Structure 1
Amino acid sequence: MTLWLVPLLPMLAGIAIAAFGPQSRRALAAISGGVLAATLILAVLAVAGGWTGALDWGGGIALTARLVPLSALILVMVPAVALPVTVHAALHEAQRGLPRLVGLMLLFTGGMVLVVAAADLLTLLIGWELIGACSWALIGHDWRDRDNPASGLYAFVMTRFGDLGLFLAAMAAFGATGSFAYDALGGLQGPALLIVAYGVLLSAASKAGQVPFSPWLFRAMAGPSSVSALLHAATLVAAGAYILA
């Protein structure tokens, strides 16, 4: 089986729910809970079966997914945490725009799973930018309150600035080794090694809300409580520490 199934399931389900999801709280809770339970089962099967994924675009550019002990543990933890938080959101958050909220939480979960499963900097970047975009939309979910979109935009710009480090790291790694793969990073030396190391550190610090990027975390509290529980207490902020590890 391919490891891509684990992030793709919540991503596709999230898009469908955001666009066509039912208004019923119980139906939303049942559907989103079922999707995340299935994602959790797939994650466990992926860990047990040693699933991998690869998509070769040619010219040394490829998307790869592979698990090591640390990523295997986090792969299971992400849907396990997202499941109760998302079901709680479906049952208790404000009714207006609820399908969009639940759908975005599922899409975010899929992006976070992709970050965890990535085995190269290009795949990591795709997941990294997806969770950043979802966090912007989730923080500004209640857009009728003008302060919320402003807070979402502030968090988006602050984390995007830090994400430039990851773009620089990916470009430096590819320029020096001809590959985005994590396995190729051991061959780096000189300026390329410094760019990759400090680029990843900068991006991790911004996503984790560390100084000087910490103010975005306070602005992010404008989002619904369930969003804060999923993004800022359990997954997105922890992603910074994860990529360093």
Structure 2
Amino acid sequence: MTQTVTILSLMLAFMLSGCESASKAPDSVNEETTIQQSPKAQLLEQIDRKYENPEAHYQLGKLAYAEGQLDKADFEYRVALGFNPVHYRAQAGVVKVATDQKQTERAQIIAELYISQAAVSAPASVRLGKAFQNEELGAYALSCYYQATGLTPKSPEPYKLLGYYYLGEGDQVRAEENFRRSFELDPYQTNVAGELGRMGVIIGLPRTVNIENAPGPQ
């Protein structure tokens, strides 16, 4: 009798264990589905939670562009700009789409509008320039960087970006010229010093002053 009870108890335990595993299976599937969710689905979820999300719309536009859906990309970029008018990557995206659609005049008009808006400050011009350069719109990036040098002639950043731009274009003369100017304004830029060194330019690093041993006021 005792043996029979023991066997029945074991059978019941196995049955309960099986039921518990079965009940957990759907949760595991849901977790796996969430983990494997596509970037597009994740962005759509973010937009569903908060439609006024410029970054999500911009990223959705990038995905649409990568899939060759230029009209969809343009729409998402413009939605992003509706919620953040100075989303510089979205601005560059709009110009890129117009360029790819062979709407050259329209692309130029839009780009010039954005560049003029970025003239409020050198940092704005630099950010827009970088956005244009990332979209392989070099001529517009160049306009932004030169605009930044005019706004803040003593800032080394725009000259450094011009140096890298011309270096990428294979224009060693202009690259060196702008790297030199950037280095003159800030001689502590190791990356610029490295580029000048590779060009064969001999530069002198500024001497550091020992504050403890520096002469006091007379």
TM-score normalised by the chain length of structure 2? 0.30
Indicate the structure (1 or 2) with the bigger Cα radius of gyration: 2
RCO (CA 8 Å, sep 6+): is it higher in 1 or 2? Answer: 1
